[in-house]
Chain A
Amino acid sequence: MKFFRLLGRSVRDAFRSVGRNFSLSLASISCIIVTLLIIALSIVITYNVNNFSNDLKKDLTIVAFVSNDADDTDLEKIKTNIEGISNVHSVSFKDKKDIKAEMMEEDESLKTAMSEWDEESNPLQHTYLIKVDDIEKIGETATAIKNLDYIDVVKYGEGMVEQLVTVFKAVQKVAIVAVVALVLMTMFLIVNTIKLTIFSRKREISIMRLVGASNFAIKLPFVVEGMILGFIGSIIPVFVLIYGYYSMYKYFGGKLFTDLIKLVSPEPFVYIASLIIIGVGILVGMMGSGRAVRKYLKV
């Protein structure tokens, strides 16, 4: 009960203080807004990249071509060996007869040419189709498969996958650096806002100390003030995120440039991201004010 009374008092004092130091509060809130907008953007990018990587993981296959010298026992052995490689998720076998049939269906001219091939003269090769767990390690896995006996060639769209992953990683890194820099700047501004509040209420604080207010009771209004600044600062980014993402999703029709890159569906994504944004805003505000309280309150 005592706690709630102190909390109520702190919230009242904090709101008063935000109004009293309006210009500095506004500067802090603006900085929080910019920071949270960038954070929102990085959440959107990161989440979509992850989503895309997962899709890619589902679609991406290593094709291993087996030498025609291999007999049935060898084929079994190759399968077991491939399954033994650490990054391998699943292995399926495709007979060269099936491949021939597929190819004949796809193209009329091929059909004529291939129809003359019998079991013996079919120059195509049996293949294994392999899915991996981690697409970043696909190159290593392909090399490991290539080193197995009777495997002639391994193909997985080398180059393109690595390039995409590198580009996305770079974008994520830039976003992280920008966020960290902005969070630090915001915290610096919040520290200064709270410092001003502490100075303007020095007399009150000294009296609180004299009459025996606990350190917690002295600190609470300032920490709450930081949290309020953080919360107010998160309102605009949350609206921008929700309306912005919905509009973008609608405008692009749920995919970015090609069918390959699908966007994450807005629900429940934007709402979860909004909660994260509000949480980060409050946390940054709390950390900034906590620092100011430690530095200038000396309790």
Chain B
Amino acid sequence: MEFIRFKNVTKQYKNGVVALYDLNLSIEKGDFCFIIGGSGSGKSTFTKLLYREEKPTKGEIVLGGLKVNKLRNSNVYKLRRKLGIVFQDYRLLPKSNVYENVAFALEVMGESKKDIRPKVLKAIELVGLKSKLRDYPDNLSGGEQQRVAIARAIVNNPKLLICDEPTGNLDPAMSLEIVELLDKINKKVGTTVIMVTHDKEIVNHMKKHVIALKDGHLFKDYKEGEYIDEVL
């Protein structure tokens, strides 16, 4: 079942730079999809369009039946509640511990403490940080901090998890752990995962659906298992 559809999407920034040209692609529900490409290929713009940080200049983006490009600024939060977003720099609150960081996502939506607690504990357990509930981000390793960010992203049970270079700051072993965690979430919960990366080793290892972008164009759309390391 088609979950995400990009139809003739072009994105030109105000400074004149065109990041994506006439992009057409689709991602199925429950898919685990890598977006790869070199610098300036349009990977980050692609994710920003998905979570409606940016609007396309032309074309249409449909996410789970919702026309993202038609969404008004005041309604963007309704889309974001259906998404989980993870970044390279984790974006945690330094003065809050693991539990508080994950709970924050639900608190700002006005959920009650009683409802928040079981959801947060479940998410933290899933990412394997149950023993570090009261630790602060500064006392955690990079991989652990990214796990907290992932727990925060999935605590609201999103339909889609968008990960923008989540392993960018991690060593290869930790990177693999994180990707395997995402794979586990994808398989266990059924969340669709889109992961932007330039780490070819991981992409080779995982043998998933791969969308390769080059200079703002769709270079190739590899079905699951089709991708073999190519020079982009």
List residues of chain A with CB under 8 Å of any chain B CB.
Answer: 1-3, 5-6, 9, 203-204, 206-215, 217-218, 299
Contacts and interface: CB of A to CB of B under 8 A. Distances in A.
With a 10 A CB-CB cut-off, give which of B51, B74, B85, B110 has the most chain A CB atoms.
B110
Contacts of A3: 110
Nearest to B95: A204
B209 interface: no
24 contacts: A1-B112, A5-B112, A6-B110, A9-B108, A203-B91, A207-B93, A207-B105, A210-B51, A210-B91, A211-B80, A211-B81, A211-B105, A211-B108, A212-B78, A212-B80, A212-B82, A213-B77, A213-B109, A214-B77, A214-B109, A217-B108, A217-B109, A217-B110, A218-B108
Nearest to A209: B80
A212 B156 contact: yes
A9 B80 contact: no
A204 B108 CA distance: 10
Interface string B60-94: 00000000000001100111111101000001010
Given A209-B80, A211-B109, A212-B82, 10 more contacts: A207-B91, A208-B108, A210-B91, A211-B81, A211-B152, A212-B78, A212-B83, A213-B77, A214-B109, A217-B110
Nearest to B152: A211
With a 10 A CB-CB cut-off, give which of A203, A213, A299 has the most chain B CB atoms.
A213
B104 interface: yes
A9 B107 contact: yes
Contacts of A210: 51, 80, 85, 91
A3 B110 CA distance: 7
Contacts of B108: 6, 9, 208, 211, 213, 217-218
B53 to A, nearest CB: 9
B51 to A, nearest CB: 8
B123 to A, nearest CB: 12
Nearest to B155: A211
A211 B102 CA distance: 10
Contacts of A208: 108
Contacts of A2: 110-111
Nearest to B113: A5
B71 to A, nearest CB: 12
A12 B81 CA distance: 24
A203 B93 CA distance: 7
A148 to B, nearest CB: 67
Contacts of B82: 212
Nearest to A214: B77
Contacts of A213: 77, 108-109
Given A210-B80, A211-B104, A215-B77, A5 B93 contact: no
A215 B76 CA distance: 9
A254 to B, nearest CB: 54
B110 A211 contact: no
B2 to A, nearest CB: 23
Interface string B209-232: 000000000000000000000000
A91 to B, nearest CB: 63
Nearest to B81: A212
Interface string B92-127: 010000000000110111111000000000000000
Interface in B3-19: none
A206 B81 CA distance: 14
Nearest to A299: B73
Contacts of A218: 108
Contacts of A9: 107-108
A141 B107 CA distance: 69
Contacts of B78: 212
Contacts of A203: 91, 93
B156 A206 contact: no
With a 10 A CB-CB cut-off, give which of A204, A206, A211 has the most chain B CB atoms.
A211
Nearest to B112: A5
Interface string B155-171: 01000000000000000
B36 to A, nearest CB: 23
Top 10 nearest A-B pairs (CB, nearest first) are A212-B80, A212-B81, A2-B110, A213-B108, A211-B105, A212-B77, A6-B110, A214-B77, A5-B110, A208-B108
B182 to A, nearest CB: 17
Contacts of A204: 93
A164 B191 CA distance: 79
A229 B111 CA distance: 28
B91 A206 contact: yes
A54 B160 CA distance: 71
Contacts of A209: 77, 80
A176 to B, nearest CB: 37
B217 to A, nearest CB: 28
Nearest to A298: B73
A108 to B, nearest CB: 87
A213 B74 CA distance: 11
